[in-house]
Structure 1
Amino acid sequence: MIYSVDVTIEVPVQATEVAERVEDAVTNLFPDAEFRREPDRFVAESHSLDAFSDVLHEQEILDTARREFFNGADDEGFSFSLKKQPAFEGKVNFAVGSADELGDIQVRVDVREPDVESFIDHVAPPTEEGRPIDPDDR
């Protein structure tokens, strides 16, 4: 299956933060992201969530990721937010509720191929008893 997605990552950079550390927080989870610096934030773009998916599998948080993805889904894609400090450590921690005082990492995934639900299944497959379900076993 060929996946065609555009991932846009926006993250505020506060005056009290070291910009390189904020950039590292993003590249730890999205290593192929291409950055541009704006006055008070970074905007990065990518065309893959493969490395991010690997972290979700390693942390065994596929069900949480699916819930966040579907909560932020629409006809064109899905959005979610991540906490900066865990990202700096290479960990995924979804931001729910009020934003962190330094701001959260905002991620928007626009899916062109195949469709939103199929791509979510690819990034964070459904699980049974915490283990990914092989689509051929369904």
Structure 2
Amino acid sequence: MTVSATARYKPENEEAFETDQWGYAETDYMEAFTLTGLTEGEAALVEAFVPVAVEEADGFAGFRDNATKTNSPIDRLKRITLPDPDDVADDLERYLRARERADELDEKIEKTDELIDEIVYDLYGLTEEEIEIVESSVRGD
């Protein structure tokens, strides 16, 4: 399992980058490190828990909010303390079932949306070219 992260930084030339209100820019996601030898449950725990620890920050699960010259973003991620998989096994199993069901529902919603689009295109008698224009405008192209 690969853990990816972004990093906020203050660029020397703020005008050359998209920055927030405090003048910080953020990198794209980059591979931080890889965890090997995880069971499916351990991998699911990392996938579910690490984003929460990072979002909560300020010491939650050992995650420190700010990097320093001696405490890199990778160091901060590696210090996150995960709960013992045996202690959260029941909750993790419920979470995995709920996530699987949510994925199934998302897939059904996507298929339903596509079917609705096809029906609308047929009702209005749109050509392939007109359909592409509509879909392009919806995507923001």
TM-score by length of 2: 0.23
Instruction: Choose 1 or 2 for highest CA Rg.
Output: 2
Bigger RCO (CA 8 Å, 6+ sep): 1
Say which structure is richer in helix.
2
TM-score by length of 1: 0.23
Say which structure is richer in strand.
1
